Protein backbone atom coordinates (compact mmCIF):
# COMPACT_ATOMS: atom_id res chain seq x y z
CA UNK A 1 0.00 0.00 0.00
CA UNK A 2 1.47 3.37 -0.96
CA UNK A 3 1.27 6.47 1.21
CA UNK A 4 -1.68 7.99 -0.62
CA UNK A 5 -3.73 4.80 -0.37
CA UNK A 6 -2.86 4.54 3.31
CA UNK A 7 -3.95 8.09 4.04
CA UNK A 8 -7.05 7.85 1.91
CA UNK A 9 -8.39 4.55 3.25
CA UNK A 10 -7.24 4.28 6.89
CA UNK A 11 -9.81 5.04 9.56
CA UNK A 12 -8.68 6.38 12.92
CA UNK A 13 -9.36 2.99 14.45
CA UNK A 14 -7.00 1.38 11.96
CA UNK A 15 -4.23 3.95 12.28
CA UNK A 16 -2.69 2.51 15.42
CA UNK A 17 -2.64 -1.06 14.13
CA UNK A 18 -1.25 -0.01 10.76
CA UNK A 19 1.48 2.07 12.41
CA UNK A 20 2.42 -0.76 14.76
CA UNK A 21 2.80 -3.17 11.86
CA UNK A 22 4.82 -0.62 9.90
CA UNK A 23 7.04 0.25 12.84
CA UNK A 24 7.55 -3.39 13.70
CA UNK A 25 8.80 -4.11 10.21
CA UNK A 26 10.99 -1.02 10.39
CA UNK A 27 12.84 -1.86 13.60
CA UNK A 28 16.53 -0.96 13.14
CA UNK A 29 18.91 -3.84 13.65
CA UNK A 30 21.94 -5.83 12.47
CA UNK A 31 22.97 -5.65 8.84
CA UNK A 32 22.54 -8.62 6.53
CA UNK A 33 24.53 -7.81 3.36
CA UNK A 34 22.72 -7.98 0.05
CA UNK A 35 24.26 -10.01 -2.77
CA UNK A 36 22.75 -7.73 -5.41
CA UNK A 37 24.97 -5.72 -7.76
CA UNK A 38 25.44 -2.06 -6.94
CA UNK A 39 23.30 -0.52 -9.65
CA UNK A 40 20.18 1.52 -8.98
CA UNK A 41 17.50 3.48 -10.76
CA UNK A 42 15.79 6.70 -9.73
CA UNK A 43 12.65 8.00 -11.41
CA UNK A 44 11.89 11.69 -10.80
CA UNK A 45 8.26 11.91 -11.88
CA UNK A 46 7.90 15.28 -13.56
CA UNK A 47 4.11 15.32 -13.54
CA UNK A 48 3.62 14.24 -9.89
CA UNK A 49 3.93 17.32 -7.67
CA UNK A 50 3.90 16.19 -4.02
CA UNK A 51 3.61 19.68 -2.53
CA UNK A 52 5.76 22.64 -1.62
CA UNK A 53 8.69 21.90 0.69
CA UNK A 54 8.39 24.26 3.63
CA UNK A 55 11.76 25.92 4.15
CA UNK A 56 11.17 25.64 7.91
CA UNK A 57 11.98 21.91 7.85
CA UNK A 58 15.60 23.07 7.68
CA UNK A 59 15.22 24.81 11.03
CA UNK A 60 17.19 24.85 14.27
CA UNK A 61 16.68 24.70 18.02
CA UNK A 62 18.60 26.42 20.84
CA UNK A 63 18.12 25.80 24.54
CA UNK A 64 19.81 27.00 27.73
CA UNK A 65 21.68 23.72 27.92
CA UNK A 66 25.41 23.12 28.09
CA UNK A 67 27.14 25.78 26.01
CA UNK A 68 24.51 26.15 23.30
CA UNK A 69 23.70 29.73 24.36
CA UNK A 70 26.61 30.98 26.42
CA UNK A 71 29.88 30.90 24.46
CA UNK A 72 28.13 30.08 21.18
CA UNK A 73 25.39 32.71 20.82
CA UNK A 74 26.26 35.10 23.64
CA UNK A 75 29.85 36.02 24.57
CA UNK A 76 29.18 39.39 26.21
CA UNK A 77 29.83 42.94 25.11
CA UNK A 78 33.34 42.97 26.63
CA UNK A 79 34.49 39.74 24.95
CA UNK A 80 37.58 39.68 22.75
CA UNK A 81 35.71 37.21 20.50
CA UNK A 82 34.23 39.17 17.56
CA UNK A 83 30.63 40.02 18.41
CA UNK A 84 27.72 42.31 17.69
CA UNK A 85 26.96 43.92 21.05
CA UNK A 86 27.67 40.61 22.81
CA UNK A 87 26.20 38.31 20.15
CA UNK A 88 28.83 35.99 18.69
CA UNK A 89 29.64 36.92 15.10
CA UNK A 90 30.93 33.64 13.61
CA UNK A 91 27.86 31.62 14.60
CA UNK A 92 25.59 34.34 13.20
CA UNK A 93 27.49 34.23 9.91
CA UNK A 94 27.25 30.43 9.83
CA UNK A 95 23.45 30.58 10.04
CA UNK A 96 23.31 33.33 7.41
CA UNK A 97 25.37 31.27 4.96
CA UNK A 98 22.91 28.37 4.97
CA UNK A 99 19.89 30.72 5.01
CA UNK A 100 18.66 29.09 8.23
CA UNK A 101 14.90 29.70 8.20
CA UNK A 102 13.76 29.43 11.82
CA UNK A 103 15.23 29.11 15.33
CA UNK A 104 13.32 27.70 18.33
CA UNK A 105 14.04 29.06 21.85
CA UNK A 106 14.32 28.92 24.94
CA UNK A 107 13.65 25.16 25.10
CA UNK A 108 13.21 22.32 25.45
CA UNK A 109 12.65 21.42 29.08
CA UNK A 110 14.10 24.79 30.07
CA UNK A 111 11.10 26.58 28.53
CA UNK A 112 8.60 25.38 31.13
CA UNK A 113 10.82 26.70 33.90
CA UNK A 114 11.60 29.98 32.13
CA UNK A 115 9.98 33.27 33.13
CA UNK A 116 10.61 35.82 30.43
CA UNK A 117 10.74 38.85 32.72
CA UNK A 118 13.94 37.42 34.26
CA UNK A 119 15.67 38.04 30.92
CA UNK A 120 14.78 41.64 30.04
CA UNK A 121 16.05 45.00 31.22
CA UNK A 122 19.55 45.98 32.36
CA UNK A 123 21.64 42.83 32.47
CA UNK A 124 23.33 43.76 35.71
CA UNK A 125 19.92 43.82 37.41
CA UNK A 126 18.62 40.51 36.06
CA UNK A 127 18.22 37.74 38.67
CA UNK A 128 20.46 34.70 38.87
CA UNK A 129 18.42 31.51 38.76
CA UNK A 130 19.11 27.78 38.70
CA UNK A 131 18.44 25.60 35.67
CA UNK A 132 16.78 22.60 37.34
CA UNK A 133 16.80 20.45 34.20
CA UNK A 134 20.40 20.81 33.10
CA UNK A 135 22.16 21.47 36.41
CA UNK A 136 23.74 24.89 35.96
CA UNK A 137 23.27 28.48 37.03
CA UNK A 138 21.46 30.91 34.75
CA UNK A 139 22.50 34.56 34.76
CA UNK A 140 19.79 35.55 32.25
CA UNK A 141 22.22 37.72 30.26
CA UNK A 142 20.67 36.23 27.11
CA UNK A 143 16.94 36.94 27.11
CA UNK A 144 14.13 37.93 24.77
CA UNK A 145 15.71 41.05 23.26
CA UNK A 146 19.08 39.33 22.79
CA UNK A 147 17.47 36.32 21.15
CA UNK A 148 15.34 38.38 18.79
CA UNK A 149 18.32 40.54 17.84
CA UNK A 150 20.35 37.39 17.20
CA UNK A 151 17.55 36.19 14.90
CA UNK A 152 17.48 39.52 13.07
CA UNK A 153 21.22 39.47 12.48
CA UNK A 154 21.10 35.81 11.37
CA UNK A 155 18.13 36.33 9.06
CA UNK A 156 16.05 33.64 10.81
CA UNK A 157 12.44 33.64 11.98
CA UNK A 158 12.15 33.41 15.78
CA UNK A 159 10.05 30.62 17.27
CA UNK A 160 9.20 31.14 20.95
CA UNK A 161 8.17 28.38 23.37
CA UNK A 162 5.81 29.60 26.09
CA UNK A 163 5.90 28.32 29.68
CA UNK A 164 2.87 26.12 30.41
CA UNK A 165 4.35 23.84 33.08
CA UNK A 166 5.18 26.49 35.69
CA UNK A 167 3.69 29.52 33.94
CA UNK A 168 0.25 30.98 33.30
CA UNK A 169 -1.82 32.36 30.42
CA UNK A 170 -1.30 35.82 31.90
CA UNK A 171 2.50 35.48 31.72
CA UNK A 172 2.35 34.12 28.16
CA UNK A 173 0.01 36.92 27.06
CA UNK A 174 2.30 39.56 28.56
CA UNK A 175 5.23 38.01 26.68
CA UNK A 176 3.30 38.14 23.41
CA UNK A 177 2.39 41.77 24.12
CA UNK A 178 6.05 42.55 24.85
CA UNK A 179 7.09 41.02 21.53
CA UNK A 180 4.23 42.02 19.26
CA UNK A 181 2.22 44.76 20.99
CA UNK A 182 1.50 48.08 19.28
CA UNK A 183 -0.75 49.45 22.01
CA UNK A 184 0.35 51.94 24.65
CA UNK A 185 0.70 49.68 27.70
CA UNK A 186 3.13 49.14 30.54
CA UNK A 187 4.53 46.06 28.78
CA UNK A 188 5.14 47.80 25.45
CA UNK A 189 6.64 50.75 27.33
CA UNK A 190 9.02 48.28 28.98
CA UNK A 191 10.08 47.02 25.55
CA UNK A 192 10.66 50.60 24.38
CA UNK A 193 12.67 51.38 27.51
CA UNK A 194 14.82 48.35 26.67
CA UNK A 195 15.64 49.88 23.31
CA UNK A 196 12.97 48.39 21.03
CA UNK A 197 10.04 50.73 20.45
CA UNK A 198 8.76 48.80 17.41
CA UNK A 199 7.05 45.39 17.67
CA UNK A 200 9.12 42.31 16.85
CA UNK A 201 6.19 40.60 15.08
CA UNK A 202 7.01 37.07 16.28
CA UNK A 203 4.87 34.66 14.25
CA UNK A 204 5.55 31.21 15.74
CA UNK A 205 4.53 30.36 19.33
CA UNK A 206 4.63 26.94 20.94
CA UNK A 207 2.24 26.40 23.83
CA UNK A 208 4.58 24.45 26.08
CA UNK A 209 7.18 21.77 25.42
CA UNK A 210 6.95 18.02 26.05
CA UNK A 211 4.06 18.60 28.41
CA UNK A 212 3.70 14.85 28.76
CA UNK A 213 7.06 14.96 30.60
CA UNK A 214 9.25 17.82 31.82
CA UNK A 215 6.59 20.32 30.74
CA UNK A 216 4.24 19.33 33.57
CA UNK A 217 3.59 15.57 33.34
CA UNK A 218 0.12 16.18 31.91
CA UNK A 219 -1.95 13.50 30.26
CA UNK A 220 -3.24 14.34 26.78
CA UNK A 221 -6.73 15.28 27.95
CA UNK A 222 -5.50 17.67 30.64
CA UNK A 223 -3.01 19.27 28.27
CA UNK A 224 -5.78 19.78 25.68
CA UNK A 225 -7.72 21.80 28.26
CA UNK A 226 -4.59 23.80 29.13
CA UNK A 227 -3.88 24.42 25.44
CA UNK A 228 -7.41 25.69 24.86
CA UNK A 229 -7.14 27.92 27.96
CA UNK A 230 -3.86 29.50 26.85
CA UNK A 231 -4.91 29.99 23.24
CA UNK A 232 -8.23 31.54 24.30
CA UNK A 233 -6.22 34.58 25.42
CA UNK A 234 -3.23 34.43 23.10
CA UNK A 235 -5.43 33.91 20.06
CA UNK A 236 -7.78 36.73 21.01
CA UNK A 237 -4.87 39.13 21.27
CA UNK A 238 -2.99 38.02 18.17
CA UNK A 239 -4.10 39.52 14.89
CA UNK A 240 -5.68 36.92 12.67
CA UNK A 241 -3.17 35.30 10.35
CA UNK A 242 -0.11 36.89 11.97
CA UNK A 243 0.55 34.19 14.60
CA UNK A 244 0.77 30.40 14.38
CA UNK A 245 0.27 28.26 17.47
CA UNK A 246 2.08 24.97 17.92
CA UNK A 247 0.53 22.38 20.22
CA UNK A 248 2.48 19.72 22.10
CA UNK A 249 2.06 16.28 20.56
CA UNK A 250 3.68 12.91 21.07
CA UNK A 251 4.07 9.82 18.92
CA UNK A 252 3.45 7.44 21.83
CA UNK A 253 0.47 5.97 23.66
CA UNK A 254 -2.29 7.59 21.63
CA UNK A 255 -1.44 11.09 22.86
CA UNK A 256 -2.24 12.87 19.57
CA UNK A 257 -5.60 11.18 19.10
CA UNK A 258 -6.62 11.86 22.70
CA UNK A 259 -5.55 15.49 22.34
CA UNK A 260 -7.66 16.11 19.22
CA UNK A 261 -10.58 14.11 20.59
CA UNK A 262 -10.61 16.21 23.76
CA UNK A 263 -10.52 19.47 21.79
CA UNK A 264 -13.37 18.20 19.63
CA UNK A 265 -15.57 17.65 22.69
CA UNK A 266 -14.94 21.05 24.25
CA UNK A 267 -17.82 23.56 23.97
CA UNK A 268 -15.99 25.24 21.07
CA UNK A 269 -15.83 21.90 19.20
CA UNK A 270 -14.05 22.08 15.87
CA UNK A 271 -13.29 25.77 16.49
CA UNK A 272 -10.90 24.58 19.21
CA UNK A 273 -9.09 22.39 16.68
CA UNK A 274 -8.88 25.35 14.30
CA UNK A 275 -6.76 27.07 16.96
CA UNK A 276 -4.01 24.50 16.29
CA UNK A 277 -1.82 25.42 13.33
CA UNK A 278 1.01 22.94 13.95
CA UNK A 279 1.51 19.85 16.11
CA UNK A 280 4.91 19.42 17.77
CA UNK A 281 6.46 15.93 17.83
CA UNK A 282 9.99 14.89 18.80
CA UNK A 283 12.17 12.04 17.60
CA UNK A 284 15.71 11.09 18.61
CA UNK A 285 17.81 8.33 17.10
CA UNK A 286 19.35 6.57 20.10
CA UNK A 287 19.90 3.12 21.60
CA UNK A 288 22.07 0.36 20.14
CA UNK A 289 24.02 2.74 17.89
CA UNK A 290 27.42 2.55 19.57
CA UNK A 291 29.40 5.62 20.54
CA UNK A 292 29.65 8.87 18.58
CA UNK A 293 32.92 7.92 16.88
CA UNK A 294 33.39 4.31 17.99
CA UNK A 295 30.72 2.23 16.27
CA UNK A 296 30.65 -0.96 14.23
CA UNK A 297 29.58 -1.25 10.63
CA UNK A 298 26.36 -2.86 11.88
CA UNK A 299 25.70 0.12 14.14
CA UNK A 300 26.26 2.46 11.18
CA UNK A 301 23.48 0.78 9.19
CA UNK A 302 21.30 0.52 12.27
CA UNK A 303 21.37 4.29 12.72
CA UNK A 304 20.42 4.98 9.10
CA UNK A 305 17.67 2.35 9.13
CA UNK A 306 16.12 4.16 12.10
CA UNK A 307 14.60 6.66 9.67
CA UNK A 308 12.00 3.96 8.92
CA UNK A 309 10.64 4.28 12.46
CA UNK A 310 10.30 8.05 12.06
CA UNK A 311 8.53 7.57 8.72
CA UNK A 312 5.97 5.19 10.21
CA UNK A 313 5.20 7.61 13.02
CA UNK A 314 4.85 10.54 10.64
CA UNK A 315 2.48 8.59 8.41
CA UNK A 316 0.31 7.61 11.36
CA UNK A 317 0.20 11.26 12.46
CA UNK A 318 -0.64 12.51 8.96
CA UNK A 319 -3.60 10.12 8.81
CA UNK A 320 -4.79 11.23 12.24
CA UNK A 321 -4.57 14.92 11.32
CA UNK A 322 -6.52 14.32 8.12
CA UNK A 323 -9.28 12.67 10.14
CA UNK A 324 -9.68 15.57 12.58
CA UNK A 325 -9.15 18.52 10.21
CA UNK A 326 -10.30 19.74 6.83
CA UNK A 327 -8.24 20.68 3.80
CA UNK A 328 -8.98 24.33 4.62
CA UNK A 329 -7.66 23.93 8.16
CA UNK A 330 -4.88 21.37 7.88
CA UNK A 331 -2.52 21.10 10.84
CA UNK A 332 1.16 20.85 9.95
CA UNK A 333 3.59 18.52 11.71
CA UNK A 334 6.38 20.37 13.51
CA UNK A 335 9.23 17.94 14.15
CA UNK A 336 10.76 20.63 16.32
CA UNK A 337 13.30 18.39 18.06
CA UNK A 338 15.13 15.66 16.20
CA UNK A 339 18.61 14.26 15.72
CA UNK A 340 20.98 11.53 16.86
CA UNK A 341 21.66 11.32 20.61
CA UNK A 342 24.90 9.63 21.63
CA UNK A 343 25.70 8.50 25.20
CA UNK A 344 27.14 11.70 26.78
CA UNK A 345 26.78 13.47 30.17
CA UNK A 346 23.59 15.52 30.50
CA UNK A 347 24.39 18.22 33.03
CA UNK A 348 26.84 21.05 33.55
CA UNK A 349 28.49 23.61 31.29
CA UNK A 350 29.33 21.02 28.60
CA UNK A 351 26.16 18.94 28.84
CA UNK A 352 25.32 16.78 25.81
CA UNK A 353 28.47 17.79 23.91
CA UNK A 354 28.99 14.98 21.41
CA UNK A 355 31.29 14.37 18.47
CA UNK A 356 29.83 14.82 15.00
CA UNK A 357 30.91 12.43 12.25
CA UNK A 358 30.11 11.74 8.61
CA UNK A 359 27.66 9.05 9.86
CA UNK A 360 25.66 11.77 11.65
CA UNK A 361 25.66 13.90 8.50
CA UNK A 362 24.40 11.04 6.31
CA UNK A 363 21.63 10.32 8.82
CA UNK A 364 20.57 13.97 8.58
CA UNK A 365 20.59 13.74 4.77
CA UNK A 366 18.47 10.57 4.70
CA UNK A 367 16.06 12.21 7.16
CA UNK A 368 15.76 15.29 4.95
CA UNK A 369 15.12 13.14 1.88
CA UNK A 370 12.27 11.53 3.78
CA UNK A 371 10.83 14.82 5.07
CA UNK A 372 10.94 16.29 1.55
CA UNK A 373 8.75 13.43 0.33
CA UNK A 374 5.85 14.51 2.57
CA UNK A 375 5.51 17.91 0.90
CA UNK A 376 3.34 20.31 2.90
CA UNK A 377 2.33 17.76 5.55
CA UNK A 378 5.55 18.43 7.50
CA UNK A 379 5.61 22.16 8.21
CA UNK A 380 8.71 22.48 10.37
CA UNK A 381 11.71 20.54 11.66
CA UNK A 382 14.35 21.79 14.11
CA UNK A 383 17.53 19.83 14.62
CA UNK A 384 18.72 19.49 18.20
CA UNK A 385 20.65 21.58 18.86
CA UNK A 386 22.22 24.49 17.03
CA UNK A 387 25.61 24.76 18.75
CA UNK A 388 27.70 22.51 21.04
CA UNK A 389 24.79 20.23 22.03
CA UNK A 390 23.72 16.88 20.51
CA UNK A 391 23.70 16.90 16.68
CA UNK A 392 24.85 20.50 16.39
CA UNK A 393 25.94 22.39 13.29
CA UNK A 394 28.99 24.05 14.88
CA UNK A 395 31.32 23.81 17.87
CA UNK A 396 32.72 26.78 19.80
CA UNK A 397 35.09 27.09 22.73
CA UNK A 398 36.52 30.49 23.46
CA UNK A 399 37.81 31.86 20.16
CA UNK A 400 37.81 28.43 18.48
CA UNK A 401 35.08 27.60 15.98
CA UNK A 402 34.37 24.57 13.77
CA UNK A 403 31.54 23.61 11.43
CA UNK A 404 30.35 20.02 11.81
CA UNK A 405 29.66 17.55 8.97
CA UNK A 406 25.95 18.00 9.73
CA UNK A 407 26.26 21.72 8.95
CA UNK A 408 27.38 20.90 5.43
CA UNK A 409 24.22 18.84 4.87
CA UNK A 410 22.12 21.95 5.54
CA UNK A 411 24.31 23.78 3.04
CA UNK A 412 23.82 21.17 0.30
CA UNK A 413 20.05 21.01 0.82
CA UNK A 414 19.42 24.74 0.44
CA UNK A 415 18.03 24.42 -3.13
CA UNK A 416 15.08 22.39 -1.78
CA UNK A 417 13.81 25.31 0.33
CA UNK A 418 10.35 26.43 -0.85
CA UNK A 419 10.67 24.32 -4.00
CA UNK A 420 7.99 21.92 -5.25
CA UNK A 421 8.66 18.34 -4.19
CA UNK A 422 8.55 15.84 -7.05
CA UNK A 423 7.66 12.21 -6.54
CA UNK A 424 10.68 9.89 -6.58
CA UNK A 425 10.70 6.14 -7.16
CA UNK A 426 13.83 4.26 -6.10
CA UNK A 427 14.87 0.82 -7.36
CA UNK A 428 18.07 -0.04 -5.52
CA UNK A 429 20.02 -2.84 -3.85
CA UNK A 430 19.00 -3.25 -0.24
CA UNK A 431 20.27 -4.16 3.19
CA UNK A 432 18.22 -6.01 5.78
CA UNK A 433 17.82 -5.12 9.44
CA UNK A 434 16.83 -7.59 12.14
CA UNK A 435 15.52 -7.28 15.72
CA UNK A 436 17.73 -5.86 18.45
CA UNK A 437 16.94 -8.49 21.05
CA UNK A 438 19.68 -7.27 23.37
CA UNK A 439 17.65 -4.15 24.17
CA UNK A 440 15.21 -4.32 27.13
CA UNK A 441 11.54 -4.96 26.23
CA UNK A 442 10.38 -1.50 27.32
CA UNK A 443 12.92 0.13 24.99
CA UNK A 444 11.91 -2.11 22.10
CA UNK A 445 8.30 -1.06 22.72
CA UNK A 446 9.31 2.60 22.66
CA UNK A 447 11.11 2.15 19.33
CA UNK A 448 8.20 0.32 17.78
CA UNK A 449 8.56 -3.44 18.19
CA UNK A 450 10.52 -6.23 16.51
CA UNK A 451 10.58 -7.78 13.04
CA UNK A 452 12.83 -6.93 10.15
CA UNK A 453 12.77 -4.89 7.00
CA UNK A 454 14.78 -3.96 3.93
CA UNK A 455 16.10 -0.49 3.29
CA UNK A 456 17.49 0.66 -0.03
CA UNK A 457 21.10 1.75 -0.14
CA UNK A 458 20.00 4.69 -2.28
CA UNK A 459 18.08 7.46 -0.54
CA UNK A 460 16.80 10.31 -2.74
CA UNK A 461 14.53 13.32 -2.98
CA UNK A 462 13.86 15.81 -5.75
CA UNK A 463 12.27 19.22 -6.12
CA UNK A 464 11.53 21.78 -8.81
CA UNK A 465 12.29 25.49 -8.62
CA UNK A 466 10.11 26.76 -11.44
CA UNK A 467 11.41 30.33 -11.31
CA UNK A 468 14.98 29.14 -11.84
CA UNK A 469 13.97 26.23 -14.11
CA UNK A 470 16.01 23.96 -11.91
CA UNK A 471 15.57 20.46 -10.52
CA UNK A 472 17.44 19.63 -7.34
CA UNK A 473 18.15 15.94 -6.75
CA UNK A 474 19.79 14.87 -3.48
CA UNK A 475 21.28 11.37 -3.44
CA UNK A 476 22.73 9.42 -0.51
CA UNK A 477 24.60 6.19 -1.14
CA UNK A 478 24.48 4.53 2.27
CA UNK A 479 26.68 1.60 1.25
CA UNK A 480 29.90 1.64 3.25
CA UNK A 481 32.23 0.29 0.57
CA UNK A 482 30.61 0.16 -2.88
CA UNK A 483 29.69 2.98 -5.28
CA UNK A 484 26.22 3.07 -6.79
CA UNK A 485 25.71 3.48 -10.51
CA UNK A 486 22.38 5.30 -10.63
CA UNK A 487 20.28 5.59 -13.77
CA UNK A 488 18.29 8.81 -13.33
CA UNK A 489 15.14 9.16 -15.42
CA UNK A 490 12.70 12.08 -15.52
CA UNK A 491 9.57 10.64 -17.13
CA UNK A 492 7.17 13.29 -18.41
CA UNK A 493 9.83 15.95 -18.96
CA UNK A 494 9.44 17.19 -22.52
CA UNK A 495 12.34 17.45 -24.97
CA UNK A 496 14.99 18.83 -24.82
CA UNK A 497 14.80 18.07 -21.10
CA UNK A 498 17.86 18.60 -18.93
CA UNK A 499 20.54 20.90 -20.31
CA UNK A 500 23.51 20.42 -18.04
CA UNK A 501 23.94 21.19 -14.39
CA UNK A 502 26.31 20.89 -11.46
CA UNK A 503 27.06 18.56 -8.57
CA UNK A 504 28.42 18.99 -5.03
CA UNK A 505 29.52 16.11 -2.84
CA UNK A 506 29.97 15.45 0.88
CA UNK A 507 32.01 12.41 1.87
CA UNK A 508 35.26 11.41 3.54
CA UNK A 509 37.63 8.47 3.71
CA UNK A 510 35.81 6.96 6.69
CA UNK A 511 32.29 7.42 8.06
CA UNK A 512 33.89 7.85 11.49
CA UNK A 513 35.73 10.97 10.36
CA UNK A 514 34.75 14.06 12.32
CA UNK A 515 35.39 17.79 12.50
CA UNK A 516 36.79 19.08 15.78
CA UNK A 517 37.91 22.43 17.13
CA UNK A 518 41.52 21.44 16.46
CA UNK A 519 40.81 19.79 13.07
CA UNK A 520 37.80 21.66 11.73
CA UNK A 521 38.01 20.77 8.04
CA UNK A 522 38.37 16.98 7.88
CA UNK A 523 34.85 16.55 6.44
CA UNK A 524 33.85 19.25 3.98
CA UNK A 525 31.85 19.50 0.75
CA UNK A 526 33.38 19.73 -2.68
CA UNK A 527 33.13 22.83 -4.82
CA UNK A 528 30.47 22.65 -7.55
CA UNK A 529 31.49 20.59 -10.57
CA UNK A 530 29.91 20.80 -13.98
CA UNK A 531 27.59 17.98 -15.09
CA UNK A 532 27.50 17.25 -18.81
CA UNK A 533 24.05 15.68 -19.03
CA UNK A 534 21.30 16.01 -21.61
CA UNK A 535 17.72 14.86 -22.10
CA UNK A 536 15.56 13.11 -19.52
CA UNK A 537 17.76 10.09 -18.80
CA UNK A 538 21.39 9.76 -17.73
CA UNK A 539 23.65 7.71 -15.48
CA UNK A 540 25.49 9.06 -12.46
CA UNK A 541 27.86 7.30 -10.06
CA UNK A 542 27.63 8.08 -6.33
CA UNK A 543 30.64 7.05 -4.21
CA UNK A 544 30.17 4.94 -1.06
CA UNK A 545 28.96 6.68 2.12
CA UNK A 546 28.38 9.92 0.26
CA UNK A 547 25.80 12.66 -0.22
CA UNK A 548 25.51 14.40 -3.58
CA UNK A 549 23.39 17.37 -4.63
CA UNK A 550 22.64 17.58 -8.35
CA UNK A 551 21.30 20.85 -9.77
CA UNK A 552 19.81 20.20 -13.21
CA UNK A 553 18.82 22.98 -15.57
CA UNK A 554 15.70 22.34 -17.63
CA UNK A 555 14.46 24.11 -20.73
Active site residues: 210, 337
**Residue 195: partners with Cβ closer than 8 Å, 6 or more residues away:** 145
- 323-328: long-range pairs with CB below 8 Å, 24+: 323/11, 323/12, 323/15, 324/260, 324/261, 324/264, 324/273, 325/273
Nearest to 525 by CA among 505, 545, 511: 505
- Pairwise CA distance, residues 416 & 524, whole Å: 20
- Pairwise CA distance, residues 210 & 527, whole Å: 41
SS3 state at 401: strand
Task: State the burial class of residue 522 (Cβ atoms within 10 Å of its Cβ: 0-12, 13-18, 19+).
Answer: middle
Q: What is the DSSP letter of 528?
A: P
SS3 state at 183: coil
Answer for the pair 279, 246: CB distance below 8 angstroms, yes or no. Answer: yes
Answer for the pair 391, 364: CB distance below 8 angstroms, yes or no. Answer: yes
- Pairwise CA distance, residues 40 & 299, whole Å: 24
Asked whether the CA dihedral 133, 139, 142, 144 is positive or negative, the reply is positive
Answer for the pair 552, 422: CB distance below 8 angstroms, yes or no. Answer: no
Q: Where are the alpha helices (DSSP H) in 240-328?
A: 255-264, 270-274, 297-305, 307-324
Q: Where are the alpha helices (DSSP H) in 215-254?
A: 220-237
**Residue 119: partners with Cβ closer than 8 Å, 6 or more residues away:** 126, 140, 142, 143, 144, 146
Question: Bridge partners of 514?
Answer: 357
Measured in whole angstroms, the distance separating CA 48 from the mean position of its chain's CA atoms is: 25
- Pairwise CA distance, residues 147 & 457, whole Å: 41
Max intra-chain CA distance, the chain = 72
Amino acid sequence: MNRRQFLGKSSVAALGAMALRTRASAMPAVLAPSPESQRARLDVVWGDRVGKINRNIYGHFAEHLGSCIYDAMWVGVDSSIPNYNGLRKDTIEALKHIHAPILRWPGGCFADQYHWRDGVGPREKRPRTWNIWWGRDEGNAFGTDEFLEYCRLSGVEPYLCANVGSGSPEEALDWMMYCNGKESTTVTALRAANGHPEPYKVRYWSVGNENWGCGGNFDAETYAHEYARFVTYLGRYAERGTVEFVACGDFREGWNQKFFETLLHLPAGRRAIRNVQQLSVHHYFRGGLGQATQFTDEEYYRALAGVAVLEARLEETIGLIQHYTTSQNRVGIALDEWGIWHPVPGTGAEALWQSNTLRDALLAAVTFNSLNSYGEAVSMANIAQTFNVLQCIAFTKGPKFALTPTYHVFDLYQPHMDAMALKTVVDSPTYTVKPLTQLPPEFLAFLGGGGETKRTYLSASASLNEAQKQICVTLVNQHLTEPLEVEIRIPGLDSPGVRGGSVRELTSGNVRDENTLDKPDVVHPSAPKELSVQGNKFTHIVPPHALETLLLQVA
